[in-house]
Amino acid sequence: MKTAKAKKITVKDIIKKYGGDKTAMIAILQDVQEEFRYLPKAALSSISKQMEVPLTRIYEIATFYNAFSLKQRGKNLIEVCAGTACHVQGAARLMDRMERDLAIKCGETTKDKMFSLEEVRCLGCCSLAPVVRISGNIHPNLTQDEVPKILKNY
Amino acid sequence: MSKINTLEDLNKAAKRGLESIIPSKTKVMVGMATSGIASGAQEVYNALAEEIKKRKLDIILSKTGAMGMDCIEPLVDVLQPNKPRLAYSKVTAKKVPEIIDQIVKGAVNGNKPAYRMDEEEFICLNENKPYLKGPVPKDLEGIPKIGDVSFYKKQMKLATRNCGMINYESIDEYIAKGGYFSLLKALTKMQPDEIIDEVIASGLRGRGGGGFQAGIKWQTCRRAHGDIKYVICNGDEGDPGAYMDRSVMEGDPHSVIEGMIIGAYAIGSSQGFIYVRNEYPLAVANLQRALDQAREYGLLGKNILNTGFDFDLKIGKGAGAFVCGESTALMTSLEGKAGEPRAKYIHTVEHGLWDRPSNLNNVETWANVPAIISRGAKWFSSIGCKNNSGTKVFCLVGKINNIGMVEVPMGIPLKEIIYEIGGGIPGGKKYKAVQTGGPSGGCLPDSLIDISVDFDSLWDAGSMMGSGGMIVMDETTCMVDIARYFIDFLEFESCGKCVPCREGVYRMNEILNDICDGKGKAGDVELLESMSQGIVDGALCALGSTAANPVLSTLKYFRDEYVAHVRDKKCPAGVCKALIRFSVSDEKCTGCGVCLKKCPTECISGEKKKTHVIDQTKCIKCGVCKESCKFDAIIVE
C-alpha cells in the first residue's frame, strides 16, 4: 500500500512538470518509465484520471512505441543491437548465446529479476558492431566468448 | 552572457571562440561522441584530467565530436601553440601519461600520432587558419598530413564541417567558425523570398532519403495559407546502419539550429521542433544545451538579433518507432499520439502538424543551410554532379577496413568509397555488395561498383540514397538472410494501419523464413515477386511502398542464392543455420583443443595434436568453434 502511494505522488509530479499538457503524453510516459523501468498499471490509471485522458488512449501509445514496456523489467536491461551492421557481424549468434546463458528468451526477465533481455533496432554505434548495451553501457565488438565475463560484472 | 544584437557583438563572441579553438596554450581534445565514448573515451578523458592535475600543468582539456574515422577511436587531439594539431588514435587510459610526456617535452617519440593537421578549415568563412607557424618540426615530418590519409583524401566536409573540430559545448567556438553570421546576414540583408531563391538555386535536395528539392518545399510552405506555420527537423534516424545525423546533432548541434532559424524566417514560422530518436540520449543533451545557449545569446526566442523576428525551438523525443521517421507519422507523434502515417495526397507543407503548414527537413539538410547562405548558391551548386549538388554524408560500416562516417561530393564513384576511403574488404575476402538506403533501399553488386553515388543513379539501379547507411557485405554474407533480416525488421516496425504492409510483409517474412530454414518450395521465389509488386502498388506511406525493395533488389542481383536455398537446400555463404554443417579440416587442424574447450554443447572431441571431430547430432551451429580457431580449420558448408 505504501509503495503505491509513493508511486502516485511521483506520477503527479511528472504530470505537473509538463503542466498537464496532453500533447506531452509520450514525454510523460518516458519519465514514468525512467522512474519505474516500466509502465506500471497503477501509474497509467493515475495518469488517465488526473489528465482526463481515456486509459485506452494511453494504452495505445504505450503499446505502439517499442521503448515502452508494460512488463516489469529486471535490474539490468540487456539490449542486443540488431542493426544491419551488427546483424552482418553476427548479432544473431550473440543473442542466441545470451538466451542460452541466461536461460530466457528475448523479451523475458530472469527469475532472480537481475536481467531483462531485449532486442534494439540500431544504437547507431555501427562502427563497433556487434554491440550490446547493458544498463546504458555499450559493450563494443562483443564476441560470444566474452558474454559470461561481461554478465558477471553486473 | 549578454544578448547579441549587432555584428559587433557577434564578432566579439567569434573572437572569444577563436581564442579557444586555437589557444595560446596547449589544448587536448577528446573525441566524445557516442562512438568515442563506447570505445572508452570517457576513461581516457578522466585519465587526462587526472594526469594534468597531478602534474599541475596548464593545459586546456576539451571535448569534441566525431571526426568520422570511428575505427581508430578513442581519438585524442593535441594542439600546442604554433605547431600542427596531432591526432593520437586508439588511446587508452594507460597511454595517457606517455602522451602527456610528449606534450611536456614538446617532441614526438614512441607512440606516434595517426596524422597531423597544419591548418583548420573555416568553411563558412571561406578561409583556412593555420595552426602551424613556420616549417614543420623535424620530429613531425614522418607523420602524414590528414589530407594524405586515404580515408580523408577524397572527403569534403560541409554538413559535418565542425564535427570533431570544435568543442560541442561551446557556442563561441561555433560562432568563430562563422556560425550565426549566416543568420545575421539572412535576417538583416535578405528578404524571405531571396533566401528561398538562394536555396532553390543551390539545388539542395533533402538528405533524408527522398531527395526532394528543399527550396521548393520551403516555397510551397511559405505560400500555404495559415497564420501559424511550423518548421521541423527530422532527427529520428531509424535506418539501421546509419548514424550521421546523430554525429551532427552530437558534434555540431548549432549548425542544425541555425539552419532551422534561417528556414523559419524564410517560411514565416515562429515555432519549430526537433524530433530526436529515443536511442540518442547524448544528441538530446547536446541539442538542449545548444538551445539554451542560443536563447541566452538572443539567437532564439523573442526579437532575434534585435530584428523583431520571433522564433523558438522545442525538442520532441521519439519512443522507438521506425515509422516515425516518415514525415506524417513523425508529426502525429509530435502531437502526442501513436505515430501512424497518413496518405500523402494531403501535403504536410499545407496540412501538417496540428493541421497547419509544416516544413520538415532532416538534420543533414538543415546543417547545410548556413553554409549555403554564407558562401552562396553558386558555390554550393559547383560541388557534386548534375542535379545533385553538394555533398552527402555516409556511414561506411559492415565488412570494410576503415569503418566510419564519411562525407563526399555527390557523384563520386562507389569504387572510390569502398576501396580508397574504406580501404577495401578485411581478411582478403571478396566484395559482394553494398546495401544503401536502409530497409527501403537495395543492394549494389560488384557489377555496379563503378556507379556514380547520387540520388538518381542509385534510384535507377533499384536502390536509393536513403539517409546514408552503407553496409558493406562480403562473400560470407548471405543475401537471402539479408532480405529476411530487412523484411523481419519491417514486419516488426509496420505500424499496422494498411493491409498491404501489415499482411503482405508478414507473409513475405514467413516465406523467407521457410527458405532460410530449408523448407523453401518451388514457386516461393515467384510468389515473393508478385507479393512485392502488390505492396509497392498498395501500401499507404513511403516506408510501406518501399518495403519490398530488399527482396526485389536481392532477387534482381542474387537470384542464384535464392535458387541454391530453395532447390539445393544450401546456403552458399554459410549463414543459414538449417542449411549448413560445421566440420573440422583434417589438413588445417593442429589439435590444439581450443574449440573443444569453448564448445557450449561439448560436441567436439579429439585427442591433443590430433584432428578433432564435431558430433553433428549435438552441434547447435553457434559458430564459437569457427570464431575461436586460429588456424581457420573449421569448415562451414
Reported ipTM: the value is: 0.88
Instruction: Say whether A84 and B398 touch across the interface (CB within 8 A).
Output: yes
**DSSP tag of B166:** S
Q: CB–CB of B379/B125 below 8 Å?
A: no
| pLDDT value at residue B240 | 85
Indicate the residue of B318, B404, B438 with minimum beta-carbon distance to A127. Answer: B404
Cell 594539431 belongs to which residue? B85
Instruction: Say whether A22 and B336 touch across the interface (CB within 8 A).
Output: yes
CATH code 1.20.1440.230 region(s) in chain B: 479-566
| pLDDT value at residue A9 | 54
**Cβ neighbours of residue B292 closer than 8 Å, sequence gap 6 or more:** none
Phi and psi at residue B411, to the nearest 5°: 95, 0
**What is the spatial distance between Cα B287 and Cα B76, in angstroms, rounded to a whole number?**
23
CA distance A128 to chain B (A): 8
Burial of A129 (0-12, 13-18, 19+ CB in 10 A): buried
Average pLDDT estimate for A138-148: 91
Pairing of strands B452-453, B412-413: antiparallel
Strands across the sheet with B309-317, in order?
B301-304, B309-317, B271-276, B230-235, B358-362
CATH code 3.40.30.10 region(s) in chain B: 20-153
| pLDDT value at residue B627 | 86
**What is the spatial distance between Cα A81 and Cα A122, in angstroms, rounded to a whole number?**
6
Q: CB–CB of B259/B387 below 8 Å?
A: no
Cell 595552426 belongs to which residue? B131
Indicate the residue of A24, A67, A90 with minimum beta-carbon distance to B336. Answer: A24
Average pLDDT estimate for B478-506: 93
Average pLDDT estimate for B96-114: 90
Q: CB–CB of B457/B555 below 8 Å?
A: no
Average pLDDT estimate for B542-563: 93
* Residue among B165, B26, B35 at smallest CA distance from B90: B35
**DSSP tag of B430:** P
- Peptide bond preceding A130 in cis form (omega within 30 of 0): yes
Phi and psi at residue B412, to the nearest 5°: -65, 140
Q: CB–CB of A119/A106 below 8 Å?
A: yes
Q: CB–CB of B77/B68 below 8 Å?
A: no
Residue B240 Cα distances to B1, B379, B591, angstroms: 41, 33, 40
Q: CB–CB of A129/A85 below 8 Å?
A: yes
**DSSP tag of B145:** B
**What is the spatial distance between Cα A40 and Cα A44, in angstroms, rounded to a whole number?**
7
pLDDT at B320 over 90: no
Positions of E strands within B468-520: 469-474
- Residues of chain B found within 8 Å of residue A29, distances taken between Cβ atoms: 319
Q: What is the pLDDT of residues A11-63, one digit of tens each?
A: 899 999 998 888 899 999 999 998 888 999 999 999 999 999 999 999 999 99
CATH code 3.30.70.20 region(s) in chain B: 581-636
Q: What's the CATH number of domain B479-566, 1.10.1510.10, 1.20.1440.230, 1.20.1530.20, 3.40.50.12160? A: 1.20.1440.230
| pLDDT value at residue A1 | 40
Q: CB–CB of B78/B88 below 8 Å?
A: yes
pLDDT at A4 over 60: no
Which span out of A22-36, B344-358, B359-373, B545-559 was modeled with the highest average pLDDT? B359-373
pTM value is: 0.93
Indicate the residue of A65, A96, A126 with minimum beta-carbon distance to B397. Answer: A126
| pLDDT value at residue B467 | 84
- Residues of chain A found within 8 Å of residue B438, distances taken between Cβ atoms: 84
Q: What percentage of chain B reaches a pLDDT higher than 70? A: 100
Question: Which uninterrupted H or E stretch holds B250?
Answer: helix B244-251
Q: CB–CB of B422/B396 below 8 Å?
A: yes
Interface residue of A28, A122, A134, A137 to substitute, partner B, most B CBs within 10 Å: A122
Interface residue of B34, B35, B405, B475 to substitute, partner A, most A CBs within 10 Å: B35
CA distance A51 to chain B (A): 13
Phi-psi region of B573 (alpha: psi -120 to 50; beta: other; left: phi over 0): alpha
**What is the spatial distance between Cα B527 and Cα B533, in angstroms, rounded to a whole number?**
10
Which three cell numbers mark B595? 574449440
Question: Which position has the higher pLDDT, A2 or B632?
Answer: B632
Q: At A5, is the pLDDT very low, low, confident or very high (cuts 50, 70, 90)? A: very low
- Residues of chain B found within 8 Å of residue A97, distances taken between Cβ atoms: 600, 622
Average pLDDT estimate for B437-454: 93
Q: What percentage of chain A reaches a pLDDT higher than 70? A: 94
User: Domain B179-380, what architecture?
Assistant: 3-Layer(aba) Sandwich (3.40)
Cell 545525423 belongs to which residue? B245
Indicate the residue of A29, A90, A127 with minimum beta-carbon distance to B403. Answer: A127
Instruction: Say whether B243 and A126 touch across the interface (CB within 8 A).
Output: yes
Q: Pseudo-torsion of CA B590, B592, B596, B599, nearest 10°?
A: -90
| pLDDT value at residue B106 | 85
> Does domain B581-636 sit in CATH 3.30.70.20?
yes
| pLDDT value at residue A2 | 42
CATH code 3.40.50.11540 region(s) in chain B: 179-380
Q: At B235, is the pLDDT very low, low, confident or very high (cuts 50, 70, 90)? A: very high
**What is the spatial distance between Cα B330 and Cα B539, in angstroms, rounded to a whole number?**
18
**Cβ neighbours of residue B618 closer than 8 Å, sequence gap 6 or more:** B601, B602, B603
CA distance A145 to chain B (A): 7
pLDDT at B157 over 60: yes
pLDDT at B241 over 90: no
Give me chain B's average pLDDT, please.
Answer: 94
Q: Chain B window 216-235: which residues touch A at a Cβ cutoff of 8 Å? A: none
Q: Which CATH class is domain B385-474?
A: alpha beta
**What is the spatial distance between Cα B412 and Cα B439, in angstroms, rounded to a whole number?**
23
Q: Which CATH class is domain B20-153?
A: alpha beta
| pLDDT value at residue B315 | 96
